[in-house]
A and B are shown apart, each in its own frame.
Chain A
Amino acid sequence: MESTLISLLHGFSVALQPDNLWYAFIGCLVGTLVGVLPGIGPLSGISILLPVTFGLNATQAVIMLAGIYYGSQYGGSTTSILMRIPGEASSVMTCIDGNAMAKKGRAGAALCIAAVGSWIAGTFGIIMLTLIAPPLATIALRFGPPEYTALLVLGLIFLAYMSSTSLVRTLLMACIGLMLGMIGIDNMTGHFRYSFGLAELGDGIGIVPVAVGLFGLGEILATPSHKVVGEVIAPKLRELLPSRQEWREASMPIARGSVLGFIIGIIPGSAHIISSFLSYALEKRISKRPEEFGKGAVAGVAGPEAANNSASTGAFVPMLALGIPTGPITAVLIGALMIHGVPAGPQLVSDHPDVFWGFVASMYVGNLMLLALNLPLVGLFVSLLRIPYAYLYPLIIMFCVIGVYEVSHSIVDVWIMLIMGVFGYALRKFNFDPAPLVLGLVIAPIFEQSLRQSLIMSNGNYLIFFSRPISLGLVIVSIGLLALSALAFVLNRKDWRTKLAEAEVGKTP
């Protein structure tokens, strides 16, 4: 503990050197921009800037590139809240309640809560990273295919809490999402499924084009059909800040989101994407007023935003402690370190303490910088909403097209986005919520793969899910949740979903 503190102080002495501060700042600034521009994700930002770091030393390079990564997690919420366009998969959930808050004139409050929540979660993540990285990393390694399967089963059960419409509609959307997730090469046999001869569909349908199409484009297409209330939301400076009530509603979700996000973030693989989905579902599950979700609930912004930031920090645990990439972004960071002759892995802390502790300390500093960068920008971003729709929306469509193309340089992705935009329009008209569809799309490929991998490992024996402690624990939680719902059904208690369904029936003529 004491030695950790001394090492960390040494790290700060590295991170606070003027040139290192400068590179952290550049990274955070680029990250914020990358996050704000819809579609242009941190992955393309980092790989484009990778050659620029060839002239720097390893510490500077990793400080700057990591700044882009966690900086983009801050910026990602901006377009979600203001325009309902998720910059990346992890900000899908912020779209729903963040944008609803913006429509109620609380855009500034939503942005502030997202920024502060991100800062708290980011800092929490780094403290955990500093204190318990090595033991946690060993647990992360135990997370094999069976544990993944159990986690995703839990995720699927949480689906019921995802949506602001009735259970039937939610499950219908989820099924469409799961089916879309089947598209692509079957990893186990090499067959192409539903790819229609397009090599681009071999890796399946991307989450970003679908999310941008369903949420962003669908919203824009729907605008002309309802009466636009001509008034522009022009909040006063004082109204930009969240009220005391809103802070109170945000505090516990931020705390829970931070812990949940960090735990999910350290799991190798693509689990970090579902952290914001799970946090949203969790908040809705334990909320006293679940019917408010989807209509501008503060907790629906605070929880998921905290979770995705804390997950992005958690992703550094296996990367730094074991040299294992948790996803494509950490893979690029490991590559960047290797190009500078610093192999990431168990020896990183002992062989290159300057790099390791300098990097960790720079994240404390970087998170503060991001808060300082983002809070003053809130006013500026909100004033974007003053631009009349006639000018703003064509611009947004342009950014969506460029952004989606930029993710994997694929014109097929742009078509997917456009088709999903039309589909999203139809869903809005018929009052379906697209969020469960996106979650289904995220879960399907990972779920299928890990289930089949587990069965390969056990030679077809399903008991593998009960014989490993972590997966057994997750299965028990799943069963418990199902039992609770069954109990409510048996006792014939109406919960909010039944009420919603009844309201829907009542509404339809």
Chain B
Amino acid sequence: MDRRSFVIGTTASAAALAASPAFAQETFPSHAITIVNAFPPGGANDLVTRPLASALEQTIRQPVVVETKAGAGGQVGAQVAASAKPDGYTLLSHNNGISGYAEVDKLFDRQPKTTRADFIPLARLIADPVLLLVNSQQPYTTVKDFIDDAKKRPEAIVYSSGGLYGATHLPVALFEKATGVPKLRHLPTNGGGPAITALLGNNAQASTQTVSATLQHVKSGKLRALASFGATRSKALPDVPTLKELGYNVEYYLWVGIFAPKGTPPQIVSTLSTAIDKAANTDAFKSAIANLGLDIGYLNAKDFAAFWDADAKRADDAVKTIGRVQG
């Protein structure tokens, strides 16, 4: 082998090596995609992400695996996804929680583990409005009754939530701020299910929970829905007024979105969002969501980004209203 052919050979192979990533980008995806689900099985994230994954397999023509990395109110999963290689093969399924961590960490003088800047929003899959619910043994039939009594007896009405600064705690803070009621007494539990159980057992008198999680209990008469935090009335509960109608400027949804880690190349992001767009519009996905009692709240990457900005402001605001809890 003479020197010239050596040089040519080396240059050629170097060029080939340099070219191969570009080649890989063009044919994205070439192997299975993993969606990290930051919440435990059985929760809204799990129930929504799994049908999406099976619909996405059809539109992106690669296996899509849902991997549960639950813990610390979704922070574990967010951290896993944020530190994954940003090549489009690791995505994140997360919810409202992803917005508020940084603000909560600020409150406790902690270094935030992830911030909103670590993620690129790809799509919002659902947006489930939250209801203001009371146990049916309680006398309240309208929001006005509730507010009047809360003002008369400050810190006497107990409300349950799925966890401090969580997605079902923040709406109460927004409600308190908008209606001017003094603080209600907070009973934190460890998850949406236990919070509803506490309300059903009248161990808490009120709670803010999603339509899909509580529709059964409202229909059976065990719980009474006083108002909805949605912009419009829920189709499933047309008699329940929205807080906006009643003159309180509050809006709050529990949403589930899909994210890619920061640094994912733009072409891959657009391939992914197109594929998710198609998947979210398949009949299979739509009927799975409808069966869950959820309204499809699909937003594409651009609309979701705008919504996320507005929603994160609301979350930050609510966290600041709650402040540090004295234990």
Q: Which residues of A contact B (CB under 8 A)?
A: 43, 46-47, 50-51, 54, 141-145, 185-192, 199-200, 202-203, 268-269, 322-325, 328, 331-335, 338-341, 343-347, 408-410, 449, 453, 456-457, 459
* In the complex, the 3 A-B pairs of residues with the closest C-beta atoms, listed nearest first: A202-B72, A331-B42, A345-B216
B41 is an interface residue with CB less than 8 A from chain A: yes
* Given A144-B203, A268-B197, A343-B216, A332-B41 contact (CB < 8 Å): yes
CB nearest to A142 among chain B residues = B201
Let me know if B75 is at the binding interface, CB within 8 A: yes
Q: Is B190 on the interface with A (CB-CB < 8 A)?
A: yes
B window 107-134: CB within 8 A of A: 108, 110, 113
- Say whether B68 contacts A47, CB under 8 Å: yes
Q: Is the CB of B216 within 8 A of A346?
A: yes
Is there an interface contact between A51 and B53, defined as CB atoms closer than 8 Å? Answer: yes
Q: Which residues of A contact B288 (CB under 8 A)?
A: 54, 339
Closest to B287 in A: A341
A268-B197, A328-B40, A338-B47 in contact; A190/B325 too (CB < 8 A)? yes
Given known contacts A51-B53, A142-B201, A323-B216, A187 and B188 CB-to-CB distance under 8 angstroms: yes
CB nearest to A187 among chain B residues: B188
**Residue contacts A-B, CB under 8 angstroms, 17 given:** A51-B53, A54-B51, A187-B164, A187-B188, A188-B327, A189-B327, A190-B108, A191-B327, A200-B72, A203-B72, A323-B216, A324-B193, A338-B293, A346-B216, A346-B220, A408-B69, A459-B185
By the criterion CB–CB under 8 Å, are A347 and B219 in contact?
yes
**Alpha-carbon distance between A346 and B69 when the two chains are bound, in angstroms:** 32
- CB pair B71 A200 closer than 8 Å: yes
Contact in complex: B194, A335 (CB < 8 Å): no
Nearest chain B CB to A408 CB, angstrom units: 7
**B164 and A188: CB pair below 8 A?**
yes
Contacts of B251 on A, CB cut-off 8 Å? Answer: none
Of A189, A203, A456, the contact of B185 (CB 8 Å cutoff):
A456
Which chain A residues lie closer than 8 Å to B67 at the CB level?
Answer: 409
Report yes or no: B193 in contact with A191, Cβ–Cβ below 8 A.
Answer: no
A47-B46 CB under 8 A given contacts A190-B165, A331-B193, A449-B190 = yes
Q: Specify which chain A residues have a CB less than 8 angstroms from the CB of B325 in the assembled complex.
A: 188-190
Select which of A141, A189, A191, A338 is within 8 A of B291 by beta carbon: A338
Q: Is B211's beta carbon under 8 Å from chain A?
A: no
Q: Is the C-beta of B180 less than 8 angstroms from some C-beta in chain A?
A: no
Q: Which of A331, A344, A457 contacts B41 (CB 8 A)?
A: A331
What's the nearest-Cβ distance from chain B to residue A499, in Å?
42
The one of A203, A268, A339, A343 in contact with B71, judged by C-beta atoms closer than 8 angstroms, is A203
Q: Do B51 and A339 touch (CB < 8 A)?
A: yes
Please tell me which one of the listed residues B194, B217, B327 contacts residue A323 in the complex, with CB atoms under 8 A apart.
B217
Task: Find chain B residues with CB under 8 A from A185 CB.
Answer: 72-73
Q: How far is the CA of A331 from the CA of B190 in the complex (A)?
A: 14
Contact B220 A347 (CB under 8 A): yes
How many whole Å from B182's CB to the nearest CB in chain A? Answer: 15
User: Which residues from A are CB-within-8-Å of B47?
Assistant: 335, 338-339
Q: Is the CB of B164 within 8 A of A189?
A: yes
Instruction: Name which residue of chain B comes closest to A138, CB basis.
Output: B201
CB within 8 Å for A457 and B42 given contacts A202-B75, A346-B220: no
The CA of A81 and the CA of B185, in the complex, are separated in Å by 48
In whole angstroms, how far apart are the Cα atoms of A200 and B78 in the complex? 11
C-beta contact mask, B137-175 vs A, less than 8 Å → 1, else 0?
000000000000000000100100001110000000000
Residue interface mask B47-65, A partner, CB < 8 A = 1:
1001101100000000000
| Residue in A closest to B165 when the chains form the complex, CB atoms | A190
Binary interface profile of B, 63-88, with partner A (CB < 8 Å = 1, else 0)? 00001111111011001000000000
Shortest Cβ gap from B174 to chain A (Å): 18
Query: Which residue on B lies nearest to A450, using beta carbons?
Result: B189
> Which of A186, A202, A344, A453 has the most CB atoms of chain B within a 10 A radius of its CB?
A453
Chain B residue at minimum C-beta to C-beta distance from A189: B327
Closest chain A residue to B53 by CB distance?
A51
B254 within 8 A of A: no
Residues of chain A contacted by B265 (CB below 8 angstroms): none
Interface contact A187-B104, CB-CB below 8 Å: no
